[in-house]
Structure 1
Amino acid sequence: MATKVADQQLDKALKQLSYGFYIVATRKGGEDLETRDEDWVSAATVSWAMQSSFHPPLITIAVQKDSDLNETIQKAQSFSLTVLGKSDEKLIKQFAEQTEVDYSNSKVNGISYKEGETGAPILDCGIATLECKLEDALTTPGDHLLFVGRIVSATSKDGQPITEADTRKHYEGTSPRS
């Protein structure tokens, strides 16, 4: 059993890792869903994303197990990861809450999107976007699932990525509120 001092040290050590802000988006057609009869777009802010292979190019993201995003990625077998820039800070909160989709205008939470080659929504924001085909989903005893995606396309713009160090928003340590 860990001591309070050890727990404090773990919390402090975890907060020393670098964390960025990203939006993960996915879409599944209604014809393929059992619980819905219409297309379903899910998008959310995530902090835990990293490159995990050079060849083939892979990224790994962590998504809450009890989230709609988790379920939709598994059904769609694809997702996009948008890297938020320093000018995109307002989008962190906007995508951390309920997803609102305007299908007739191809907008999610007010941001335009187009369909990528995998069917994943490619959002018109951020400084880079990676579109991925799901390679693997790793279940852990923790509260997040790990998705490994093979990058099938990428776009990039000028700008600097926003990190937790740039904001008052934090999702690290031993609890989401630590």
Structure 2
Amino acid sequence: MAKQKADQQLDKALKQLSYGFYIVATRKGGEDLSSRDEDWVTASTVSWAMQSSFEPPLITIAVQKDSDLNETIQRAQSFSLSVLGKSDEKLIQKFAEQHEVDYSNRSVNGISYQEGKTGAPLLDCGIATLECKLEDALTTPGDHLLFVGRIVNAISKDGQPITEADTRKHYEGTSPQS
């Protein structure tokens, strides 16, 4: 009974942290990937991201260990993070489930992208995009890896970021929920 109460308290406490919604995107040539033969662009919704240094400017993101995003970031050594705004709510689920890349038109799930300085796709969505060179990958005993990226380029637009408090989508606490 005491363990159950402690687990409930942990779940409640973790849900008090602030969580936003972001799309992480990366690209690597197929010759450098173990799981595919062709160039690969991958982009997925994440909610665990934060600034982790002033100088140099760094961000840290958490990515599921068993994801395409994990392998591609590690091989590409770069990624972009698009901060979703309140008007981008439909993209949260779309990038959590779908993965349709149109290489000839440079789009992922219907969202166009440009190649950044590092080769990472810079998606045309959200209220800000941070392009990062991978500085470190930290393995944890948990189900996510931590990637630390040095910001090499930033694009900012007007708008307010969307948070889990604004939606019915939740990726928090002691188990994933939607």
Normalization by structure 1: what TM-score? 0.97
2:171 maps to amino acid = Y
CA contact (8 A) 2:25 2:43 kept: yes
Matched, 1:130 2:143: no
Greater alpha carbon shift after TM alignment, 23-32 vs 158-167: 23-32
Q: What is the alpha-carbon distance in structure 1 between the residues aligned to residue 149 and residue 140 of structure 2? A: 17
User: What does 1:13-162 align with in structure 2 at a 5 Å threshold?
Assistant: 13-162=13-162
User: How far does residue 33 in structure 1 lie from its aligned partner after superposition?
Assistant: 2.7
CA contact (8 A) 2:58 2:148 kept: yes
The equivalent of 2:166 in structure 1 is 166
Structure 1 vs Structure 2: percent identity of aligned residues?
Answer: 88
Q: What is the alpha-carbon distance in structure 1 between the residues aligned to residue 2 and residue 141 of structure 2? A: 18
Change (3 A) 1:49 1:42: same
Q: What is the alpha-carbon distance in structure 2 between the residues aligned to residue 132 and residue 148 of structure 1? A: 9
Normalization by structure 2: what TM-score? 0.97
Q: What is the alpha-carbon distance in structure 2 between the residues aligned to residue 21 and residue 35 of structure 1? A: 28
Q: CA RMSD in A?
A: 1.3
Greater alpha carbon shift after TM alignment, 163-172 vs 93-102: 93-102
User: How far does residue 177 in structure 1 lie from its aligned partner after superposition?
Assistant: 2.4
User: How far does residue 58 in structure 1 lie from its aligned partner after superposition?
Assistant: 0.2
1:171 maps to amino acid = Y
Q: What is the alpha-carbon distance in structure 1 between the residues aligned to residue 4 and residue 112 of structure 2? A: 47
Task: Extract structure 1 runs of 4+ deviating beyond 3 A.
Answer: none
Q: What is the alpha-carbon distance in structure 2 between the residues aligned to residue 85 and residue 172 of structure 1? A: 19
Change (3 A) 1:142 1:40: same
**2:112 match: secondary structure:** strand
Structure 2: 5+ residue runs without aligned partners? none
User: How far does residue 2 in structure 1 lie from its aligned partner after superposition?
Assistant: 6.4
CA contact (8 A) 2:33 2:72 kept: no
**2:56 match: secondary structure:** coil
